[in-house]
Amino acid sequence: MKMLKTSHAAKWILRNTRVSSESLTQSIKLHLITEACPLWMSTPEQCPFPDPYWAFYWPGGQALTKFILENPRNSEKLFLASAISGAKAILANDIDKNALLATLLNYRLNRISLSNTEFSSRNFVDDAGVEELRKFFKDPEKSLILLGDMFYDSDFASTAFKWLKKLKHLTGARVLVGDPDRHPLAEQQYLDRYETKFTKRLLTEYSLPGYVTREHYGFATAKILEIDFR
């Protein structure tokens, strides 16, 4: 947890975000950059941190969090839902340490215990990472790999699918994805290009509230998909 003890960054997050529960999961409060924050209309130069994507509650993450809360046995926002739903062990992973710091602050905001959560900024998307992750999947039938809003770019999606296939075959864990039908995951012209072939099974689809649609490029729904590999 040493990497999370950055008082300057924590103070900045608390000072420049707003506590909000305006989402699909209104039982969870989060420190977010919203329309009510000056940073909403600011330029990148006005933010001391590069690409603060962790300060937004993206549609796929909202849908996946809602799904976990509604289906606790299927069990940054996803980590909170898993903790609330009683997961025995959680690996909170992001290569941006500020995202992990924001996750920690959101745990505290919702008075959630950290005892079952391990934080890591390790980039696991390589063969060594797959082997290192094996230890976290002690019970394949009850293990999940959760990804929210990860397939925003086709090149990264291609890399992610190769990695996920290896990880799933090694651990047996289910792969659940929350996504509002971004092109790299939804359109056949992209799917045909990927070397790694997979199937998508729709588990559920949520309508997004108007304010979520307005904040996130007009997406009106978000889907929960289970990914399996051929």
Q: Please give the pLDDT value at position 79.
A: 60
Q: What is the mean pLDDT of residues 60-85?
A: 73
3 state DSSP class of 3: helix
Distance CA 140, CA 167 (A): 11
pLDDT tens digit sequence for 106-147: 999 999 989 889 999 999 998 899 999 988 888 877 788 999
pLDDT score of 50 more than 50: yes
Sheet holding 221-229, edge to edge: 144-148, 174-179, 221-229, 198-207
Distance CA 150, CA 168 (A): 17
pLDDT tens digit sequence for 173-219: 999 999 999 999 999 999 999 999 999 999 999 999 888 888 888 89
pTM of the predicted protein model: 0.86
Q: Please give the pLDDT value at position 2.
A: 40
3 state DSSP class of 19: strand
